[in-house]
Amino acid sequence: MGKTLEEIAQHLSTPKTVQKTVAEKRKVVEEAKPVPKVQLIYAFNGTGKTRLSREFSRMFAPQTDGGGGAEQAGPLRNKILYYNAFTEDLFYWDNGTVGDSEPKLKIQPNAYTDWLLTLLKDLGQDGNIVSYFQRYTSDKLTPHFSEDFSAVSFSLERGDNERSGNIKISKGEESNFIWSVFYALLDQVIAILNVAEPDNRETQQFDQLEYVFIDDPVSSLDDNHLIEVAVNLAGLIKSSQSDLKFIITTHSPLFYNVLFNEFNNKTCYMLERFEDGSFALTEKPGDSNKSFSYHLHLLQTIEQAIADQKVERYHFTLLRNLYEKTASFLGYPKWSELLPDDKQLYYSRIINFTSHSTLSNEAVAEPTPQERATVQLLLDHLKSSHGFWQQQGA
């Protein structure tokens, strides 16, 4: 039976946290158990990673019915720092449509950006943010914070002490900038909490922090920068000497695998969503993570559908994706070159038609018996002809 995202969020948290927050709403008390420093979660896009991060954060700032509850929300919220799509929503563009003003990225005030202002005003970390950002974009593309740190403008430096006027950066560059802000904040948080005696810390704003939840920070990065982000993030987390716990979710098998290899004290999961809207968080112990990649999951998904006689039209999309990834790995210019030699054009058209149909009257989940047979034939061909390991019988 599947679980709700709230139940999965409870599972990921310590018993101490559950008893302080969720138990007050649902009277849920979990048996004490150790929680690893890092929890890695893999899930496909659209599964519910961002919603899980929201459910997790709500445990630390539960909704109240008024009265004395409002006073409790602040301290509870200070127990978690998170990065997700909602973090990016705190930054929005003023495109300079009034008068002669130029485009700038504005920052909405909330608990997260209050910490950000501490980072910028009190700890003077704006230079580090610029450095992190330029590492993933260009050393010519430079952010400029306003005097009160409520907005950021961007310009291209020309190398002759001159710069362009303010420009609007791309969506990918914007995501990289916001991640750089978060990373700089996390860097300072870890450094501050590594000071064992609270009275000796540079600030006490982070003393109550228990969790850092990071949801997919690499959607706008190429593979080289993705690996760099993963290695840098892992190094930063490993430098943490406090009791901070980290939860990281991603849809990228490369990002996941780099982090898996970097961490020792970790627990690994796969998050799945079922058709009834419920979820499962399946632990992946030990060596099962070493083959944890998207193409192997596609292979297993199609094989299971064939075994259960539940092949549907969307399995042609998965099959094409599997062919594409295998062709890319093997260096073929076209995925269709992996199809059986005598019927490449025929099978290519079948896959293209069933996976890219645009007419509503063709969008029927139930394939014909011939189409089901084609899925199995092409999967067997790919496995037998292009280097997939075959288990030998006893």
Name the DSSP letter for residue 280: E
pLDDT computed for residue 322 by the predictor: 85
Read off φ and ψ for residue 80, nearest 5 degrees.
-140, 140
pLDDT by residue (tens digit) across 105-138?
999 887 777 777 777 777 788 889 999 999 988 8
Residues 153/102, Cβ–Cβ less than 8 Å: yes
Contacts 24+ apart (CB under 8 A), 170-175: 171/220, 172/220, 173/137, 173/141, 173/220, 174/88, 174/91, 174/105, 175/88, 175/219, 175/220
Between 65 and 155, the higher pLDDT residue: 155
pLDDT per residue as tens digits for the range 174-210: 999 999 999 999 999 999 999 999 999 988 889 999 9
Side chain identity at 181, as an amino acid letter? V
CB atoms within 10 A of CB 68: 7
Residue 191 contacts residue 240 (beta carbons within 8 Å) = no
For residue 289, pLDDT over 90 is answered with no
Q: Give the model's pLDDT for residue 38.
A: 95
User: CA-to-CA distance for 218 and 179, rounded, in angstroms?
Assistant: 9
More confident residue, 126 or 214: 214
Query: What average pLDDT does range 335-339 have in this prediction?
Result: 85
Question: Smallest Cα–Cα separation from 347: which of 293, 385, 310, 300?
Answer: 385
User: For residue 348, is pLDDT > 90?
Assistant: no
CATH number of 5-79+208-287: 3.40.50
Q: Where are the alpha helices (DSSP H) in the chain?
A: 5-12, 15-20, 22-26, 49-58, 69-77, 85-89, 111-117, 126-136, 171-193, 223-238, 253-262, 294-307, 314-330, 344-356, 369-385
Token output for 336: 């269709």
Band (pLDDT 50/70/90 cuts) for residue 290 is: low
Return the structure tokens found at 157.
Answer: 């430096």
pLDDT band for 76, please (50, 70, 90 cuts): low
What is the three-class DSSP state of 80?
strand
Q: If you search the block for the tokens 């954060």, which residue do you land on?
A: 57
Give span(s): CATH 3.40.50, the chain.
Answer: 5-79+208-287
pLDDT tens-digit map of 83-94: 988 888 899 998
Residue 116: per-residue pLDDT: 74
Contacts of 262 (CB under 8 A, 6+ apart): 230, 231, 234, 235, 238
What is the per-residue pLDDT for 60? 78
- Three-state SS for 285? coil
Query: Which has the higher per-residue pLDDT, 6 or 28?
Result: 6
